[in-house]
Amino acid sequence: MTELRLGVNIDHVATVRNARGSAYPDPVRAAKLAEEAGADGITAHLREDRRHITDGDIEALMEALTLPLNFEMAATPEMQKIALRHKPHAVCIVPEKREERTTEGGLEVARDENHLAHFIAPLRDAGCRVSIFIAADQRQIEAAHRIGAEVVELHTGAYCDFHAEGRLDERDAELDRLTRMASFANDLGLEVHAGHGLTYDTVQPIAALPEVMELNIGHFLVGEAIFRGLEASIQEMRRLMDAART
């Protein structure tokens, strides 16, 4: 089976830093440790309200990183301008609501197709790989394909929530949907990524999906780093992913 990449999301290193308005812990240092621990890429989400990652963090990451940066952003003119200035390896378009604690659902591509097609065209022209964060829904995948995205990232949040709540029938139904939609997207020629809410307990069935090429994981890894250190936290995730893959 093809290799599965791990993108480590460092947003919540910045969350801890910002809780005190200090300079530490430093997301760039976390990114470098993540690389040593076996990450294949770094993900950072610059939110409109800058609640975790800041403009300065993106600048510092672009300067310091040897790993590819996956820049998560909402489809706004401000973010497009920032992305075009930095030209990160990848741009992942996510929905964003001010009041949400985290990215709650996937992007409504089907409803906003025309705008999104125009929005991503300059990013693609600038050489960024454009990924669209969506629910495992055939309509959204078809729309992502039509607007010219190269990658879809399937939202695993509902699958993880059902697991955590012990709603195992619903979890399995969601896993079945993710399985079918990963294959559907792959058949259309899209590269398939997945992420949101993944933990040591939930990662393996997703890592085992042969069409999934990359997982993006953040909150759990940063939380687990409190107990075992960031490198060990990432190494264990990597081990579980590799075991599921074989």
Window 29 to 48, contacts with ligand PXP (CB under 6 A): 45
Nearest Cα residue to 157 out of 143, 178, 184, 176: 178
**Which of 218, 230, 233, 240 is in the footprint of ligand PXP by CB under 6 A?**
218
Under the binding rule (CB under 6 A), the answer on residue 73 touching ligand PXP is no
**Which of 34, 151, 196, 212 is in the footprint of ligand PXP by CB under 6 A?**
196
**What x-and-dash track marks residues 128-147 binding ligand PXP by CB under 6 A?**
-----x--------------
Q: Nearer Cβ to ligand PXP, position 13 or 110?
A: 13
Provide DSSP, 122-190: HHHHTTPEEEEEE-S-HHHHHHHHHTT-SEEEEE-HHHHHHHHTT-HHHHHHHHHHHHHHHHHHHHTT-
CA distance 150 to 219: 26
List CB contacts of 134: < 8 A, sequence separation 6 or more.
106, 107, 109, 140, 141, 144, 152, 153, 154, 155
What minimum distance in Å lies between the beta carbon of 221 and ligand PXP? 7
Candidates 196, 211, 214, 224; catalytic one? 196
**Which of 31, 73, 195, 212 is in the footprint of ligand PXP by CB under 6 A?**
195
**Is 72 an annotated catalytic residue?**
yes
H/E element, 236: helix 230-245
Structure tokens at 154: 């399937």
The residue range among 26-34, 122-130, 180-188, 212-220 that interacts with ligand PXP, by the rule CB under 6 A, is 212-220
What minimum distance in Å lies between the beta carbon of 219 and ligand PXP? 3
**Is 224 an annotated catalytic residue?**
no
Q: Nearer Cβ to ligand PXP, position 38 or 246?
A: 38
Provide DSSP, 47-86: -TT-SSS-HHHHHHHHHH-SSPEEEEE-S-HHHHHHHHHH
Under the binding rule (CB under 6 A), the answer on residue 94 touching ligand PXP is yes
Nearest Cα residue to 142 out of 193, 188, 80, 103: 188
What minimum distance in Å lies between the beta carbon of 132 and ligand PXP? 9
Binding site for ligand PXP (CB under 6 A): 9, 11, 45, 72, 92, 94, 102-103, 133, 153, 195-198, 216-220
Residues known to be catalytic: 45, 72, 196
